[in-house]
Amino acid sequence: MHFTQADHEYMALAIELAKQGQYTTTPNPNVGCVLVKNEKIIGQGFHIQAGGPHAEVHALREAQGKTQGATAYVTLEPCSHYGRTPPCAKGLIDAGVKKVICAMVDPNPQVAGNGIKMLEQAGIETAYGLLEHEARALNKGFLKKMETGKPYVIAKLAASLDGKTALQNGQSKWITGPIARQDVQSFRAQSCAVLSGADTVLVDDAKLNVRASEFKDFELVDNLAQLRQPIRVIIDTQNRLHPNLSLFSQESKIIILRTKLDKQHQWPHFVEQVCLPEFKGKLDLHAAIEYLATQNINQVWLEAGATLCGAMHEQKLIDEYIIYMAPKIIGEGGRGLFKSSVLTEMAQIPEFKITECVQVGTDIRISATTK
């Protein structure tokens, strides 16, 4: 199907609407919908929260029954099954729309083209593929989980211009500026889980939560006091964590991954210990990622030290790298980004594709994926 300039503009609006749910929809996808009739927008909406009305429902409600003969622009194929809400495809059929344009087909096996099929069987014209690249970027975690069964892992790294993360003595606060640290809060808030290691928690006494005081997207969250906290997942194979750490001062779910249960401490009710198998004397990281997938976790924000990041990197468990580069030089003796095997051939060096490079305050944020 040939898409017009107007089609592009309406779908671009639907994508912007979908972004408004990025801190609240997990584990559901971010979806936006725009209803157009006689070249005028009559309704629009986005999915706000899992279990609540989908984007199409919000748009239909705003249209107030004026949808006969309208065109719907949706960033993801309308659902065709009964879950916690009725099928959106049926809602569009009942509303009398004449055309539905989707940015992409939903890879969820419960949908996977069935929504489009349901619409077509009702005599509604359909098309998909409009701004699909932009639509996929909305839901990296949801899509990877549906397509592979595993969550999308993003590694957050911060370094000086010469690639150092800390002084030789371990001091690292603060390499980057306050605007970059606010930026990190937004990425944490978008993620289902924050993954780290015991070293990071112990050395920094880190909370690894989303801090309302540093959260910048105020307009996208109605009540900062109720800001959804990602699950904090800590790998602690030597059972060094203890309940007096700042990590446990905020009541939100924490999963401690171990190879042997800690029976020494009395843990708060929101803390769960999970034992996983070993691999070469350490916790099996592949098993860890597979376990997180079973916990309805689509997107993982890896915020850890050089040892864990290096191991995840070597085992090809990272999908995307977000590196904050500060305009500083630490010099010889500073600690590097990764601890990993020493390479001996240039051909062994993995190449990456830089997908974004933007200035964030005084720092540069580089996003890269494996080729």
Active site residue 56: yes
Token pair 């006689």 in the structure block, residue: 38
Q: Which of 9, 56, 214, 320 is catalytic?
A: 56
Contacts (Cβ under 8 Å, ≥6 apart) of 200: 206, 208, 303, 304, 305, 308
Contacts (Cβ under 8 Å, ≥6 apart) of 366: 321, 322, 323, 324, 325, 354, 356, 357
Of 150, 90, 137, nearest to 292 (Cα)?
150
**Side-chain half-sphere CA neighbours of 88 within 13 A:** 31
Secondary structure letter of residue 338 according to DSSP: -
Contacts (Cβ under 8 Å, ≥6 apart) of 218: 224
Q: Distance between CA 107 and CA 110 in Å, rounded?
A: 8
Q: Looking at the annotation, which residues are catalytic? A: 56
